[in-house]
Amino acid sequence: MKRGELYRVAHPTARDPKRSRVFLVVSRQVLIDSRFSTVICAPVYTAYHGLQTQIPVGTNEGLKHESSIHCDELISLPKSALTDFIGNLSREKLKQVARALAVALDIANAQQ
């Protein structure tokens, strides 16, 4: 498992109306490689509102539909749930995700 990989997860949360949802692994690689049992992920939705915290993705990344990664809705998922590999992001898309995460977490203002 690596940062930037997309996985389809069956029944990720009790309140998610879909039977499965695609998630992007965003945890740092050191955490992914550790014995820690969960990783931080960002959900992928078909909705795209053009926010700075949403990154468009689609068939180039292994998805069936044009979608977007929502960096404002991070969730911790068990590594054991991430078994259905879909695809991975390009280096450029991963940079866009890093910028979106910085916006979502207000990292620039946290350093003041």
> DSSP characters for 44-59?
EES-----TTEEEE-G
pTM over 0.95: no
For 87-105, the pLDDT digits (tens) are 999 999 999 999 999 999 9
Q: What is the CATH number of the domain that holds 15?
A: 2.30.30.110
Domain of 55?
5-110
Tell me how many domains the chain contains.
1
End-to-end CA distance of the chain: 34
pLDDT in tens, 77-88: 999 999 999 999
